Amino acid sequence: MSEAIATDICVIGAGAGGLSVAAGAAQMGARVVLVEAAAMGGDCLNHGCVPSKALLAAAAAAQAVRAGGPGVAGQTPVVDYAAAMDHVAATIAGIAPHDSQERFEGLGVRVIRDWGRFTSANTLTAGGATISARRFVIATGSRPAIPPVPGLEEVPFLTNESLFGLRAAPDHLLVLGGGPIGCEMAQAHRRLGCRVTLVEAGRCLGRDDPEAAALLVAALRAEGVEVLEGVAVERAGYGEQGLALWLADGRQVTGSHLLVATGRRAALDRLNLPVAGVETGPQGVRVDAGLRTTNRRIFAIGDAAGLGQFTHLAGYHAGLVIRSALLGLPVRARGDHIPRATYTTPTLAQVGLTETEARAAHGAAVTVIHEPFAGNDRARAMARTEGFIKLMVVRGRPVGVTVVGPDADEIIGLWALMLANRLKLSAVAGTVLPYPTLGEISKRASGTYFSPKLFDNPVVKRGVRLIQRVLP
Ligand SMILES: Cc1cc2nc3c(=O)[nH]c(=O)nc-3n(C[C@H](O)[C@H](O)[C@H](O)COP(=O)(O)OP(=O)(O)OC[C@H]3O[C@@H](n4cnc5c(N)ncnc54)[C@H](O)[C@@H]3O)c2cc1C
Ligand SMILES: NC(=O)c1ccc[n+]([C@@H]2O[C@H](COP(=O)([O-])OP(=O)(O)OC[C@H]3O[C@@H](n4cnc5c(N)ncnc54)[C@H](O)[C@@H]3O)[C@@H](O)[C@H]2O)c1
């Protein structure tokens, strides 16, 4: 006979979003059941952010040897791909205890290791138990979306779920898709000594500022990645020289391995959502502004909710659900202050609207400030002057910021704070930052916004002359 469990909150999926809900709710006194079929920690820890950033770090070390530095001659690095993958595995292992079943059981969470499946509007089965809960949270994440390219299913392609299990470096990695995964992994593998060809149907990082994305593509090409943009793949299979992609323009590219990184789809198929009255849309579970599904007792968060695919977004959603489900407070999920970064060199980071989006939304009210890293003394000292910051400002408030260049992922943090709190640009202009830092580029861009108002202003000039006459 199946065990019957009654609980306050049942969370399905122990990734970034689900773990945050479970930990928060349990520590605030709720009874929590957490259902996870695969590895604790979800995609970010096991097949996503953590391994990809660890591999990029190893690749950057190899590149530093190759490139030398200011006043230092470069050398050919000796790359041990298996050692780089050992670093990936060790990084995951170092973080894993934080997401482990043991830690969550220690917090008082009942953890069930199985696929969860709804059996009614308020019951779910998993691990032989029937769980009835006052609230459910769907936090089941996403899976690689495999495009319908003829022949693809017949060749042994990699995805983010298998890539980090390689032990030997691919001779020639073909990458299908130039989104964040494709660009990050193309650069990592090139720097680790592989030949890399990236094929993108549209434009690489197509959601990002085109000028910033073009800088990144130019950097990939300069490092030796062959980037083919705007070309569809008609067929995959084996050519005379191994794995092959036949392109719509008649070309054929061949390689030893193929990574498919063409987007991700919400993982909902095992949940039996219709029986729970939960509707889905093209991006994932349909949710309202409070992250409630069409069944008001069931929330959806993170990748499953289709509002964006970022660990920090899943964490933000988790915080909102805790406030709503535990404390009964009204919540409203915002998207305008969620930053994102692609951790290539140069790094590309964005918060709020891009220039194109800002002009479409605000028309002539938008002022765009463009400030290059070449004007930043620290960037000059580091010989890292590639890139820029772009501010989109409406009536004295930033509505979007693009940064491409060194430490863009860190620099965007200040702007995430500004947009989250809807602060005026004068807050940055009035802040003193240490000299010389890359972060000063933010202050300089704010100064550029205000300087015409201050320095090219006849009223200010007349006022200063008048004051100078009367001052003792
Ligand atoms: C290669 C790669 C690199 C990335 N890099 C970054 C980055 O640098 N920064 C960033 O912010 N984001 C990054 N992401 C995205 C990030 O990993 C996701 O946005 C994040 O993991 C989403 O968290 P989640 O909780 O919604 O889902 P997940 O972390 O995917 O967790 C969902 C969990 O639910 C489980 N599950 C699914 N269905 C069921 C079921 N029916 N029953 C039980 N369990 C179930 C799954 O096994 C999984 O463990 C990256 C993604 C990839 C693939
Ligand atoms: N640094 C980060 O924060 C980070 C890193 C990796 C992934 N992620 C998250 O994971 C999501 C998924 O990443 P992704 O890179 O797989 O997806 P993506 O949707 O961002 O990019 C996929 C790319 O593949 C292209 N494409 C689709 N079908 C194609 C085909 N048949 N042939 C050639 N190109 C094709 C698309 O035009 C697109 O540019 C990201 O959108 C992001 O939210 C984040």
Separation in Å, CA 59 to CA 49, 55, 77, 81: 15, 6, 10, 9
CB-based contact 221:198 (threshold 8 Å): no
Separation in Å, CA 139 to CA 136, 183, 206, 299, 462: 9, 27, 27, 9, 62
77-130 pLDDT, tens digit per residue, is: 999 999 999 999 999 999 999 999 999 999 999 999 999 999 999 999 999 999
pTM of the model: 0.97
Residue 270: pLDDT above 80?
Answer: yes
Domains of the chain, CATH where assigned = 3-40+100-144+265-327 (3.50.50.60), 152-262 (3.50.50.60), 340-455 (3.30.390.30)
- Ligand 1: residue of 115, 140, 164, 187 to mutate (most ligand atoms within 8 A of CB) is 140
389-439 pLDDT, tens digit per residue, is: 999 999 999 999 999 999 999 999 999 999 999 999 999 999 999 999 999
pLDDT band at 451 (very low <50, low <70, confident <90, very high): confident
pLDDT band at 1 (very low <50, low <70, confident <90, very high): low
Looking at residue 438, the DSSP 8-state letter turns out to be T
CA of 183 to the centre of ligand 2 (A): 9
pLDDT band at 463 (very low <50, low <70, confident <90, very high): confident
Predicted local distance difference test score (pLDDT) of residue 460: 83
Closest to 335 in 3D by CA, of 355, 356, 350: 350
- Ligand 2: residue of 143, 181, 249, 343 to mutate (most ligand atoms within 8 A of CB) is 181
Instruction: Give the separation between CA 81 and CA 85, rounded to whole angstroms.
Output: 6
Residue 383: pLDDT above 70?
Answer: yes
Closest residue CA from atom 1 of ligand 1: 48
The stretch 204-221 carries a mean pLDDT of 98
The stretch 360-367 carries a mean pLDDT of 98
Token digits of residue 259: 């990574």
Residue 373: pLDDT above 80?
Answer: yes
The stretch 221-242 carries a mean pLDDT of 96
CA of 385 to the centre of ligand 2 (A): 28
Token digits of residue 184: 């990050």
CB-based contact 171:254 (threshold 8 Å): no
Closest residue CA from atom 3 of ligand 1: 48
Looking at residue 347, the DSSP 8-state letter turns out to be E
CA of 357 to the centre of ligand 2 (A): 20
Cβ neighbours of 28 (radius 10 Å): 11
Which numbered atom of ligand 2 lies nearest the CA of 204? 39
Separation in Å, CA 134 to CA 121, 123, 325, 406: 11, 10, 9, 47
The stretch 437-452 carries a mean pLDDT of 96
Q: What ipTM was reported for this prediction?
A: 0.98
Predicted local distance difference test score (pLDDT) of residue 10: 98
Predicted local distance difference test score (pLDDT) of residue 417: 98
Amino acid at 384: R
Residues 6+ apart with CB under 8 A from 370: 388, 389, 390
Burial of 314 (0-12, 13-18, 19+ CB in 10 A): buried
